[in-house]
Structure 1
Amino acid sequence: MNKLAEMHCFVVTVDTGSISEAARRLGTAKSVVSQRIRQLEKRLGIILFDRGRQVSPTEAGKVFYQHCVRILADVEHAEEAILTFTSELSGNLRLSAPMAFSSRYLTQILSSFALRYPSLRLDIEYDDRYVNLQEENFDAAIRIGELPDSSLVARSIAGNRHLICASPGYIATYGAPQTPEELAEHHALLYVHREPHGMWALPVGNLTESFRVRSRMRTNNGFQLLEGAKAGMGLAILPTFLAVDAIVAGELQIVLTSHEPRGGNISLVYRQSQRTSPKLEALSNFLIEQIGSPPIWEQQLTAYLETVS
């Protein structure tokens, strides 16, 4: 048995936690996967899996898994390097992306990217949590906001401007806050990934200060935040890519314009080992090309604000 094939079989089994699921993904029989794992353990002279209701790697298996992932990635990168001499990209590209931005823009862009490179197989998972690229075997992730310091490489795709918004109906009933201190008297809608403790972090001069708001709703869904604000439930901090259509339609108004929350960037992040990946280079260039500079939603917002100023 080819060592690389054994490693691939082993890695897929660890990733899925199931010999049956590994066989399905590999397009082979469960007995074949079991046989390959036994042969690998025999050749190495060590047990790689604890076999129970769910197949899980032993401590030795975890160490071997990390090495296998790196080796298989190096092999794929070597093949990709050759592809730089052609116009074609192929192989797999596993990507994690946030839900709201993807639903609004990224799904269409990635479909166009797939059409441009028909030999490239995309595996995309949409989730607002920060996945572990190494442990969960992702090639890259789209991340939104200010990034923590890490060993990952980050390429900025676009800015991520945030606005504080409320519906005309809410403002007619409760008024618009004129200072951040007045937020304590207002209802607010909270995005749990950004505001888990019910505080809004806003710039005041050169500093960032925290302000308590009266939580009317908490959610991990950007579209729920948007719809709640449009319905008049309270103030909400929204990224412009999500809020622009409602602002242009008159369903939302911008308040506290002198205290726009910092939103960081929309970035493509990946491991240091994939710095030279032609697939990731092609993806990041395509995203920048399609989103524009400034981003298409900022162009739309600027054009609208010029008409009402």
Structure 2
Amino acid sequence: MDKLREMEVFVAIVDRGSFTGASDKLGLSAPAVSRAVHSLESRLGTHLLARTTRSVRPTDAGMAYLEACRKVLDTITDAEANIAADPLHPVGTLTVSAPVLFGQRYVAPLVDAFLLRYPDVSVNAVYIDRTTRLLEEGVDIAIRIGHLGDSSAFAIPLGSVRRRTYAAPSYLAAYGEPLHPKELTQHHCVSFTGVSAPLEWVFNDNGSRLCVRLQPRMIVDLGAAAVLAAVDGVGIIQLLSYQAAPEVDDGRLQPVLTSFEPESTPVNLLHVERRSTSGKIRAFVEHATDTLRKNAHLQGVDAMATRASR
């Protein structure tokens, strides 16, 4: 086995956390993976991996060598991608992930437009309300809402959203509008677990964090169902601003307690650094960035103000 292949095996073991995972990723037999590591360690004269019955992790020498391997392999990958990639005619399969409701409302339409524009690209769209791990799960592009802690990926800012409190006009007509978050204890509330803790909502009161304990009339873990409950007048709800944008636009929901909103939450597009020269990824990043940065609901533009200016 040549040196580059041995490097690939070593990196795959670290990324997947096991010899079996590396074997599956590279399509090699388990003995071939073991031989590659043995050959590599023998040539270097040091142990690169610390193995137990339950885990595999790089030694100190392995960590240093891992970075060198990544640089070598990434240089080769980038060189091949630059030669093969045609940014005007990208090809291949692209895996894109996004939160469920955000994906339904904003990502799905731009994916459709992307596929119509580039007929030689296929997309595997994964809409899921958890943080996907790009390298481990084979995700090329991820739309992430929230503050980032993933240093292995490039992040491209798309805008921001806010955690806002909403109610249907019918609810407000029947029960009145709360003027302070503490008044929510006297109201019916719907807690969407994807945004708020079920029994405690967070607000900003003159720069200080204000937590309000509630006894919700309804607790729901599905975004679409939460929005529907609020529209139907079941109770007041906290949502991220994009989640209620269409309903605010058409008047079925309206913001309340706006002077107590917490700080905005960033929205970013993430892609893995070593894949950045891929033609399909480059084309999708440009397409998605251009589309989502034009979305008023991600740029701090109030929907009611937008409607009034039309």
Same fold (TM over 0.5): yes
How do residues 34-183 of structure 1 correspond to structure 2 at under 5 angstroms? 34-45=34-45, 46=47, 48=49, 50=51, 52=53, 56-60=56-60, 63=63, 64-82=65-83, 87-89=88-90, 97-110=98-111, 112-113=113-114, 116=117, 127-130=128-131, 141-145=142-146, 147=147, 154-168=155-169, 170-183=171-184
Once the two structures are TM-superposed, the CA of residue 286 in structure 1 deviates from its matched residue by 1.0
Q: Does 1:268 align with 2:269?
A: yes
> Could you tell me whether the CA contact under 8 Å between 2:23 and 2:30 is conserved in 1?
yes
Once the two structures are TM-superposed, the CA of residue 212 in structure 1 deviates from its matched residue by 1.0
Show the counterpart of 1:200.
Answer: 202
> Could you tell me whether the CA contact under 8 Å between 2:96 and 2:139 is conserved in 1?
yes
Q: Does 1:6 align with 2:10?
A: no
Query: What SS is found at the alignment partner of 1:23?
Result: helix
Indicate the larger mover: 232-241 or 215-224: 215-224
Distance in 2 of aligned mates of 1:150 and 1:57:
19
> Could you tell me whether the CA contact under 8 Å between 1:165 and 1:238 is conserved in 2?
yes
> Could you tell me whether the CA contact under 8 Å between 2:161 and 2:298 is conserved in 1?
no
> Could you tell me whether the CA contact under 8 Å between 1:154 and 1:270 is conserved in 2?
yes
> Could you tell me whether the CA contact under 8 Å between 1:202 and 1:210 is conserved in 2?
yes
Distance in 2 of aligned mates of 1:118 and 1:36:
40
Query: What SS is found at the alignment partner of 1:87?
Result: coil
> Could you tell me whether the CA contact under 8 Å between 2:192 and 2:239 is conserved in 1?
no
Any unmatched runs of 5+ in structure 2? none
Once the two structures are TM-superposed, the CA of residue 226 in structure 1 deviates from its matched residue by 2.4
Show the counterpart of 1:306.
Answer: 308
Once the two structures are TM-superposed, the CA of residue 31 in structure 1 deviates from its matched residue by 4.2
In structure 2, the CA distance between the partners of 1:300 and 1:164, relative to structure 1 (3 Å rule), is: closer
Distance in 2 of aligned mates of 1:67 and 1:190:
49
Show the counterpart of 2:210.
Answer: 210
In structure 2, the CA distance between the partners of 1:10 and 1:112, relative to structure 1 (3 Å rule), is: farther
> Could you tell me whether the CA contact under 8 Å between 1:153 and 1:275 is conserved in 2?
no
In structure 2, the CA distance between the partners of 1:185 and 1:131, relative to structure 1 (3 Å rule), is: same
> Could you tell me whether the CA contact under 8 Å between 2:141 and 2:271 is conserved in 1?
yes
Show the counterpart of 2:26.
Answer: 26
In structure 2, the CA distance between the partners of 1:175 and 1:296, relative to structure 1 (3 Å rule), is: closer
Deviations 1:102-153 (A, max 9, x none): 23322443454466567778777655455676888876642224x3699676
Show the counterpart of 2:16.
Answer: 16
Once the two structures are TM-superposed, the CA of residue 211 in structure 1 deviates from its matched residue by 4.1
Query: What SS is found at the alignment partner of 1:177?
Result: coil
Once the two structures are TM-superposed, the CA of residue 164 in structure 1 deviates from its matched residue by 1.8
Once the two structures are TM-superposed, the CA of residue 266 in structure 1 deviates from its matched residue by 2.0
Show the counterpart of 2:239.
Answer: 238
Distance in 2 of aligned mates of 1:35 and 1:22:
13
> Could you tell me whether the CA contact under 8 Å between 1:239 and 1:263 is conserved in 2?
no
Deviations 1:21-58 (A, max 9, x none): 44343344444434433433433342525263x55224
> Could you tell me whether the CA contact under 8 Å between 2:101 and 2:243 is conserved in 1?
yes
Distance in 1 of aligned mates of 2:125 and 2:43:
35
**Amino acid in the other structure paired with 1:5:** R
Any unmatched runs of 5+ in structure 1? none
Once the two structures are TM-superposed, the CA of residue 177 in structure 1 deviates from its matched residue by 1.1
Indicate the larger mover: 147-156 or 224-233: 147-156
Query: What SS is found at the alignment partner of 2:143?
Result: strand
What number of residue pairs does the alignment pair up? 303
Once the two structures are TM-superposed, the CA of residue 169 in structure 1 deviates from its matched residue by 5.0
In structure 2, the CA distance between the partners of 1:39 and 1:148, relative to structure 1 (3 Å rule), is: closer
> Could you tell me whether the CA contact under 8 Å between 1:92 and 1:121 is conserved in 2?
yes
Alignment root-mean-square deviation, CA: 4.5
Give identity over the alignment, percent: 29
> Could you tell me whether the CA contact under 8 Å between 2:181 and 2:203 is conserved in 1?
no
Query: What SS is found at the alignment partner of 2:264?
Result: coil
Distance in 2 of aligned mates of 1:117 and 1:219:
39
In structure 2, the CA distance between the partners of 1:14 and 1:126, relative to structure 1 (3 Å rule), is: farther
